[in-house]
Amino acid sequence: MSNLPACPSCQSEYTYNDGDLLICPECAHEWLEQDNASAENEEKIYRDAFGNVLQDGDTVTVIKDLKLKGSGGTVKMGTRVKNIRLVDSDHDIDCKIEGFGSMSLKTEFVKKV
């Protein structure tokens, strides 16, 4: 198994060296090896659909109707979500929406209020 880092763009484990560059064969992302070391020390910045920086505890508004998997319901555009919690997973926001309970949202579908 290789001890090279996973691709920062698509998280592929099949990266390889080409001189000073690390290259991902799956998404063609290229980066310098020292960029990877500095990226590990940085905190991830979460941005809404309009580029505003989000923080824990913010209130956001849903900008698109979102169909829910499993329950068949829909979170309507304009729904306010209070006191969000940012997490590092496939969905960036953990929250509670009145009438729906706990769920996860992607930052690309919300706008900071």
pLDDT digits (tens, 9 = 90+) for 39-91: 555 578 899 999 999 999 999 999 999 998 877 789 999 999 999 999 988 89
Q: Mapped to the 3 state alphabet, what secondary structure does 43-93 carry?
A: CCCEECCCCCEECCCCCEEECCCEECCCCCCEECCCCEECCCEECCCCCCE
Q: Is the pLDDT of residue 94 over 70?
A: yes
Residue-range domain boundaries for the chain: 1-38, 59-112
Would 1-38 and 59-112 be classified into the same CATH topology? no
CATH 2.30.30.40 fits 59-112, yes or no: yes
Top-confidence residue, 38 or 69: 69
Q: What per-residue confidence (pLDDT) applies to 79? A: 95
Is residue 36 scored above 70 in pLDDT?
Answer: no
Name the more confident of 104 and 71.
Answer: 104
Q: Which CATH class is domain 1-38?
A: mainly beta
Q: What is the pTM of this model?
A: 0.62
